[in-house]
Structure 1
Amino acid sequence: MENPGTGAFMRNRRLESFLNTSSGQRVGETPKISVKEAPERSPRTDVYADYDDDNGWVSTIISWIRIVVCFLSMMVTTFIWALIMLVLLPWPYERIRQGNIYGHVTGKMLMWILGNPITIEGAEYSNEKAIYISNHAPPIDIFLIMWLTPTGTVGIAKKEIIWYPLFGQLYVLANHLRIDRSNPTVAIESMKEAARTIVKNNLSLIIFPEGTRSKNGRLLPFKKGFVHLAIQSRLPIVPMVLGGTHKAWRKGSLRVRPAPLTIKYLPPISTENWKLDKIDDYVKMVHNIYAENLPGSQRPLP
């Protein structure tokens, strides 16, 4: 039976027109999606451990076609929204909203093209004003994050993202945040400025706490930046646990496999009483929560 949180979640994913910046939160329903309540305890079984698929040449060719179609489709939507962003240059907040709408439309479209079955858990936590964090391995993670973060969310990326063809320029036009990771002092100041920006403009934030992509899908140690942001903004932290993406698109591979994917929103973690002298404890606590909710093949090794 569908609960009220799930109903709201699905209603908020009605396809948003790129000409209407006052639209709702999410894009429309994607084929092969099921939505579940967040369980009280995460099962310790790993549904991906014994996953196998067809390695024949037919499925390989189909996968290549899907990837090419994804790339071409993304070029089209990126070009369209780049033009929209240029028109909206005097209105930075509207550019953020349009950047989110671009992500909802493009992310949903790319996942539809790839065709992986998707299960969403904890949908009732998906519309919080919060700092969203996510584990990160293959490019599919980016597609899911683009699609599933709410309107009014900005990302943080390294400053070099501007050199990524089309996507990097759109990222900057959408008024997302960039930091200089080459200098620790400058990076800390960038984080402080980011916190002031999201508080001033009543925004949410999405960040990958590992700081880089995992090569094998296993959870890496967390950097401290997301905790600094939480303490300075006092926003709750909503973990988004992505399962199965490491099987669907393995590092170094040009083939996407039809592995099932799971997106699990965990309950918000309050940061109202967090203190600077306990940052290491908070990082460890959130990392442990993630490890407990990941399938076995994605948990960090001892």
Structure 2
Amino acid sequence: MIRATLLYLFTGLFILVLAPPAIAWSLVTRSDSLLYSLARACIRTGGWICGIRVRVTGRENIPSARTCVFLSNHQGNIDGPVLLHALPLNWAALIKREMMRLPVLSLVLERAGFVPIERRNPKQAHAGIDEGVRRLAAGKPFLAFPEGTRSRDGRLGPFKKGVFVMAIKAGAPIVPVTILGSSSILPPGRYGVRPGEVRVVIHDPIETAHLGLEDRDALIAETRRAIASALPADG
């Protein structure tokens, strides 16, 4: 409980004190690099406070000359920060629209190119996917959790189709990612943070440039197999 309290206090102060000047800097320079540098510094310090270690394998599988879509399983509340630390690219993400109601943080997400999605409104969800396609075409990497929500038992849930449509339309390769161990550190519905190790496995990219929307289901199945290949046999 003490670790969690220190983490939340540190993160809150970090956002309130450093985020506003970083947002202003991004407006002046039209660059989001400082936002990402500060976010990664916050994550590293938060991980040190909580005794969280991140072990990454497969960074060499990230395309070096092309933008891509990272698709990961979703085990716990720290998955997003863990992947920002583990993946060297300044990716944006498809996020729940409710996150844009958070003061200060919503401005950070907006300046970093994150795209809010209203999942219960198909028209707005399609508009969010189209915006993601435009940003991918402009060179912005993306991250998404195709399950759409955190797994309660570590097993892969059904995959949503929208992000695969986005990758196909943009012709961007999908890089499957597997997270292991995050559910035991900060499980869904829990406040306390436990020390431990999170493993991140980055798999070979899956090309989409030759695919059409009729290939969507096969692409989903291939991505699912890649992510599942690093999970325990019963996960």
Q: Cα deviation per residue 1:240-278 (whole Å; 9 max; x = unaligned)?
A: 210011122223222223333211111111112111112
Once residues 127 and 69 of structure 1 are traced to their aligned partners in structure 2, the CA distance between those partners, rounded to angstroms, is 37
Q: Is the 8 A contact 2:76 2:150 kept in 1?
A: yes
**Match of residue 93, structure 2, among 155, 166, 170:** 155
Match of 2:79 among 138, 141, 157: 141
Q: Following the alignment from structure 2 to structure 1, what is the Cα–Cα distance between the partners of residues 136 and 114?
A: 10
Aligned residue for 1:283, secondary structure, equals helix
Work out which of the two has the higher radius of gyration on C-alpha atoms and give 1 or 2: 1
Question: 1:222 is aligned with what amino acid?
Answer: F
Contact 1:155 1:176 (C-alpha < 8 Å) held by counterparts: yes
- Rate the CA distance shift 1:177–1:85 in 2: closer, same or farther, 3 A: same
- Which residue is equivalent to 1:125? 61
Code of the aligned partner of 1:185:
K
Tell me by how many angstroms 1:295 deviates: 2.0
Q: Tell me how far apart the structure 1 counterparts of residues 146 and 104 of structure 2 sit (CA, whole Å).
A: 25
Q: Which has the higher contact order (CA 8 A, sep 6+)?
A: 2
AA matched with 1:105: A
Equivalent position of 1:199 in the other structure: 137
- Counterparts of 2:233 and 2:219 in 1: how far apart (Å)? 23
- The residue identity in structure 2 corresponding to 1:175 is G
Distance across 2 between alignment mates of 1:248 and 1:255: 8
1:86 and 1:246 map into 2 onto residues whose CA distance is 35
* 1:77 corresponds to which of 7, 10, 14: 14
Aligned counterparts of 2:27 and 2:54: Cα–Cα separation in 1: 36
Contact 2:54–2:86 (Cα < 8 Å) also in 1: no
Matched, 1:240 2:177: yes
Which residue among 151, 171, 183 is the counterpart of 2:109?
Answer: 171
2:194 aligns with one of 248, 251, 257:
257
> 1:75·1:166 contact (CA, 8 Å) conserved in 2?
no
- List runs of 5+ in structure 2 lacking aligned partners: none
Q: TM-score, normalised by structure 2?
A: 0.89
Amino acid at match of 1:65: I
The 5 A counterparts of 1:16-55 are: none
Pick from 195, 208, 225 the counterpart of residue 288 of structure 1. Answer: 225
Q: Residue type of the partner of 2:178?
A: V
SS of the residue 2:196 aligns to: coil
Question: Within the alignment, does 1:104 sit opposite 2:40 as a pair?
Answer: yes
Give, in angstroms, the shift of residue 110 of structure 1. 1.6
Q: TM-score, normalised by structure 1?
A: 0.70
Question: Which consecutive residues of structure 1, in runs of 5 or more, have no partner in the other structure?
Answer: 1-63
Corresponding letter in the other structure for 1:69? L
2:159 to 222, 227, 251: 222
Residues in 2 aligned to 1:106 and 1:127: alpha-carbon distance in whole angstroms = 26
Q: CA deviation at 1:289?
A: 1.9
Task: Name the counterpart of 1:6.
Answer: none
1:90 Cα shift? Answer: 5.1
Please say if 1:189 is aligned against 2:127.
yes
Q: CA deviation at 1:215?
A: 2.1
2:4 to 67, 71, 75: 67
CA pair 73-233 structure 1, distance change in 2 beyond 3 A: same
Give the C-alpha shift of residue 71 in structure 1: 1.0
Q: What amino acid is aligned across from residue 133 of structure 2 in structure 1?
A: A
CA distance in structure 2 between the partners assigned to 1:228 and 1:203 by the alignment: 16
The aligned residue for residue 213 of structure 1 is 150
The percent identity for this pair of structures is 26
Q: Which amino acid aligns with 2:231?
A: L
Alpha-carbon distance between aligned partners in 1 of 2:62 and 2:218, rounded to the nearest angstrom: 26
Q: Kindly tell me: are residues 165 and 137 of structure 1, through their superposed partners in 2, closer, same or farther at Cα, counting changes over 3 Å? A: farther
Kindly state the Cα deviation for residue 106 of structure 1 after the two structures are TM-superposed. Answer: 1.7
Instruction: Flag as ranges the 4+ runs of structure 1 deviating above 4 A.
Output: none
1:127 shift after superposition = 6.0
